[in-house]
């Protein structure tokens, strides 16, 4: 569901820097639409980032992570051409898995 | 003794679910596999309750945590936050905002080999303290700074 997650992973020295931009509205459930109706909460609750098959970062989000969640982090190891995957799931069960290779 | 206490907590802890409960009391090791989200910690409305739910009672201030955030955020919908720490073996970084409707914003669980560093963007409804907790070798440390918010970000 939704648009693909943008992933840029760069190997530098002995570590890899990963930049991630997820596409998600991150609705907190407290906003109202133009007619005054409450917009239901819809936000990413969990994210797992894997290098090949190993988890290198897990995130648990509340409603106050900004729209289109953005992350930068680094892990030791990682070589050009190896796989990085980002999986997210939201409070309604929508989810996405996207992949990129380390550059 | 432990079993009785657990049974009681399981009975009263109802909606959390078993994994949630075990995670909340720290019986599940994070980092080795997909850790259960600590749902309760994301629902509480006060800083004390949030610290309690994270198991971070009275965390020590640490100069080994660098919290980078704007002094003034023009738009509370996108407040950039960077946490970086030289503390040993960092297992978890948590970001909290003391005046948001829900206090806990994000937990990051860092397996071995992942650096004590994270950048993200958060929503802030008003001027408030941003508090970060870093769990190093099983113990929580904190750093905090005020961010003035010009236009609230509907957190």
Complex prediction ipTM: 0.96
B152 has pLDDT over 50: yes
- Tens of pLDDT along B60-117? 999 999 999 999 999 999 999 999 999 999 999 999 999 999 999 999 999 999 999 9
At residue B77, the 3 state secondary structure works out as coil
Residue B19 has pLDDT above 80, yes or no: no
Q: Do residues B31 and B50 both lie within one domain?
A: no
Q: Looking at the complex, report in whole angstroms how far the Cα of residue B4 sits from the nearest Cα belonging to chain A.
A: 30
pLDDT of residue B106: 98
Domain boundaries, chain A: 6-101
Tell me, yes or no, if A10 comes closer than 8 A to chain B by beta carbon: no
B6 with B80, same domain: the answer is: no
**Same domain membership, residue B51 and residue B31:** no
Q: If you average pLDDT over residues A71-97, what whole number do you get?
A: 97
Average pLDDT over residues B144-149: 97
CB-based contact B37:B114 (threshold 8 Å): no
d(CA B68, CA A83): 30
On the question of pLDDT at A101 being above 60, the answer is yes
* Res B49 pLDDT > 90: yes
Nearest Cα neighbor of B132 from B87, B78, B96 is B96
Residue B80: inside a domain: yes
Which one of B84, B123, B152 makes the best mutation probe of the A interface by having the most chain A beta carbons within 10 Å? Answer: B123
Residue B132 forms part of a structural domain:
yes
- C-alpha A88/C-alpha A68 separation (Å) is 12
Q: Give the CATH number of domain A6-101; options: 3.40.50.460, 3.40.50.2300, 2.60.40.10, 2.130.10.10.
A: 2.60.40.10
Position B4 confidence tier, pLDDT thresholds 50, 70, 90: very low
Residues on chain B touching A74 (C-beta within 8 angstroms): 114-115, 117
Q: Which of residues 41-80 of B touch A (CB under 8 A)?
A: 42, 77-79
Q: Which chain A positions have a beta carbon within 8 Å of B111's beta carbon? A: 54-58
Please give the Cα distance from B96 to A44 (Å, whole number): 17
What is the domain extent for residue B20?
1-36
Residue B41 falls inside a structural domain = no
Same domain, B13 and B87: no
Distance from CA of A94 to the nearest CA of B (A): 16
CB contact under 8 A, B30 and A58: yes
The confidence score (pLDDT) of residue B36 equals: 86
User: Which has the minimum average pLDDT: A11-15, A69-73, B21-25, B150-154?
Assistant: B21-25
* Pair type for strands B128-136 and A95-101: unpaired
A35: exposed, middle or buried (C-beta count within 10 Å: 0-12, 13-18, 19+)? exposed
User: Number of A:B CB contacts under 8 A?
Assistant: 110
Gyration radius from chain A CA atoms: 15
């Amino acid at each position: 569901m939704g648009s693909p997650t943008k992933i840029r992973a760069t190997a530098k020295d002995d570590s890899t820097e990963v930049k991630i931009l997820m596409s998600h509205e991150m609705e907190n459930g407290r906003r109202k639409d133009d007619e005054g109706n409450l917009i239901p909460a819809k936000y990413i609750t969990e994210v797992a980032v894997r290098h090949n098959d190993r988890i290198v970062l897990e995130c648990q989000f509340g409603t106050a992570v900004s729209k289109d969640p953005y992350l930068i982090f680094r892990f030791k190891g990682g070589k050009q051409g190896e796989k990085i995957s980002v999986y997210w799931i939201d409070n309604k069960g929508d989810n996405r898995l996207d992949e990129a290779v380390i550059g | 003794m432990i079993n009785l206490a657990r049974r009681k907590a399981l009975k009263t802890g109802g909606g959390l679910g078993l994994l949630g409960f075990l995670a909340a009391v720290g019986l599940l090791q994070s980092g080795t596999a997909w850790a259960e989200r600590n749902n309760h910690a994301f629902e509480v409305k006060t800083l004390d309750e949030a610290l309690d739910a994270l198991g971070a009672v009275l965390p020590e201030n640490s100069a080994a945590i660098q919290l980078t955030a704007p002094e003034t955020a023009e738009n509370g919908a996108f407040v950039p936050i960077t946490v970086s720490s030289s503390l040993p073996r960092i297992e978890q970084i948590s970001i909290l905002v003391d005046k948001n409707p829900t206090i806990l914003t994000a937990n990051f669980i860092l397996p071995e080999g992942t650096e004590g560093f994270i950048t993200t963007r958060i929503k802030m409804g008003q001027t408030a303290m941003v508090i970060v907790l870093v769990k190093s070798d099983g113990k929580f440390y904190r750093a905090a700074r005020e961010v003035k918010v010009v236009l609230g970000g509907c957190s």
